[in-house]
Amino acid sequence: MGEMGTWRSYLAIGDSFTEGLSDLNPDGSYRGWADRVAEMLDRGVPDFRYANLAVRGKLLASIVEEQVPIAEQHRPELISFCGGGNDVLRPGCNVVELSRIADDAIRRLVATGAEVVVFTGFDPYGLPLRRRLRRLIAGFNELLRDIANEHGCRIVDLWSMRVLHDRRAWSVDRLHLSSEGHRRVALHTAEVLGLPATDEWRVPWPVALPRPWAVQRREDVRWVREYLAPWVRRLVTRHVPGSGCTPKRSELLPFTRVERGLDV
């Protein structure tokens, strides 16, 4: 690492959260918080390189199996690690076993000599089954914080980001961040990394206009039909998470001129 929190290479590991769903670029590709952080890291570092190995839907064991060896091979100066969110959504999740998988991954990543940033899980505020999910995610987060501290990692605590309790932080599927949600996570991550502030992620949302009950009800029905039901069908049919998808940036490469200069 150079002065003022600069790194010459950054590799992101994870699932759809790190891939950037549902933060769209003008060309329809996904941007997301990790790309936004990479854009900040790229400023003033002529030889900066970035890779994003994240694949939507991946369970933690698959993330570790498929992505950690690539990080060990490339040995970047900075690595972000986030996973387990898809695991806790599935029946029978064991957070103790999940933490063992995370511990092995983080230990291996730290052994590369990289600065490793670990992300906790979100507070599932406003989601269905939030009582069950809250218990599982809180338990996993507690174990994850202990692991990160033991290995000397920086922590981005998504659970404590109360600005993400606002529905405007989430896309219509209620499982992936909106563009503004991704922007705020990027700013929080930059703060943890000690990067110069470009904005404040804690700024309260503008006051929202009241939404009639009937409108909320229609939105709930649409969400069940278009998002929840298909997700349950994939679960019942034992659909392999992430099948057919490839990492968005599989190699440590410089940004193109089109990618440079985007506002966070």
Task: Report the CATH number that the domain containing residue 145 is assigned in CATH.
Answer: 3.40.50.1110
Check the CA dihedral 232-80-119-220 and report its sign: negative
- What does the pLDDT read at residue 3? 46
- Residues 41/8, Cβ–Cβ less than 8 Å: no
Judge whether 142 lies within some domain.
yes
Per the structure, the complete domain to which residue 143 belongs is given by 3-204+246-253
Helix (H) or strand (E) holding 119: strand 115-119
| Global pTM exceeds 0.85 | yes
Can you tell me whether residue 170 is helix, strand or coil? strand
- Residues 81/13, Cβ–Cβ less than 8 Å: yes
Count of residues making up the chain: 264
Judge whether 151 lies within some domain.
yes
| DSSP H helical ranges for the chain | 16-19, 32-42, 60-74, 85-88, 95-111, 130-150, 179-193, 213-223, 229-236
Residues in contact with 81: Cβ distance below 8 Å, sequence separation at least 6, in sequence order = 13, 14, 102, 105, 106, 109, 116, 117, 118, 119
Judge whether 216 lies within some domain.
no
Judge whether 217 lies within some domain.
no
Sheet holding 49-52, edge to edge: 154-156, 115-119, 78-81, 9-13, 49-52, 249-253
Structure tokens at 225: 């039909």
Q: What share of the chain is helix, strand, coil (3-state, %, to 5)?
A: 45, 10, 40
Judge whether 220 lies within some domain.
no
Judge whether 167 lies within some domain.
yes
Judge whether 225 lies within some domain.
no
- What does the pLDDT read at residue 212? 79
Judge whether 241 lies within some domain.
no
- Residues 76/114, Cβ–Cβ less than 8 Å: yes
- What does the pLDDT read at residue 257? 43
- Counted domains in the chain: 1
- Residues 205/166, Cβ–Cβ less than 8 Å: yes
- Residues 138/180, Cβ–Cβ less than 8 Å: no
**Taking the chain (264 residues) in consecutive chunks of 10 residues, what is each chunk's mean pLDDT?**
72 96 90 96 90 94 97 97 91 93 98 98 74 87 98 97 93 88 97 92 88 73 69 59 77 70 52
